[in-house]
Chain A
């Protein structure tokens, strides 16, 4: 069990460019979450996958954001036409669907995005 991994760890991009982040959850974890954390704040929920199905999206997730989990394993989060307000830490978490730990989310190290 290697934990949740995220790539890249840091991304600097110019306003208007597209970026894509990847999350590899703990194997056999059916649930996968994306959160966004800005400086001095707690993480805020963006979207949720159960296996390959995207079942919930926050109103924070504008049309410029899209997330996928094509085979129910890794997930990608893409931001199109980035804006300076998108600068934040993007966190991925996974959780098992059943069992004693089914409500516990385990987080990856995050991808820090800076939009210049």
Chain B
């Protein structure tokens, strides 16, 4: 069965610190897609990134970077120089490549960035 585990329930950092959010996944598919979403206090899930299973190149977008390692089934997310506006719940998700491509979400990591 497919599963996404985000072991860190809550992380608290001081502004400007770097922080890494962990994501470990399980799947028997050889092709799959991984995602990160941000859910700020307003509640709307905001798409951040999609990663294909056949592309292990790490990606950087501004202060955000993602480290995908198939060998350890991990897709970790790092925020560099965190800001108060980064405070949110972050979800890692895996696509089920059945007919629907539905998302399997982890339980989320709540990030609190203190000024």
Interface residues on chain B, size class: 20 to 34
For chains A and B in complex, what number of residue pairs have CB atoms within 8 angstroms? Answer: 63
B76 within 8 A of A: no
Q: Are A107 and B45 in contact (CB under 8 A)?
A: yes
Within 8 A of B (CB), among A10-44: 31, 33, 35, 40-44
Closest to A112 in B: B43
Closest approach, in angstroms, between the C-beta of A16 and any C-beta of chain B? Answer: 27
Q: Are A104 and B50 in contact (CB under 8 A)?
A: yes
Q: What does the 1/0 interface line of A78-110 toward B look like (CB < 8 Å)?
A: 000000000001010101000000011111111
- Count chain A residues whose beta carbon lies closer than 8 angstroms to a beta carbon of B: 26
Q: Which 10 A-B pairs have the closest CB atoms?
A: A42-B105, A48-B100, A107-B45, A45-B102, A56-B100, A109-B44, A103-B33, A43-B105, A42-B91, A42-B107
Q: B interface vs A, CB < 8 Å?
A: 4, 33, 35, 37, 42-47, 50, 91, 93, 95, 98-108
Q: A interface vs B, CB < 8 Å?
A: 31, 33, 35, 40-45, 48, 50, 55-56, 89, 91, 93, 95, 103-110, 112
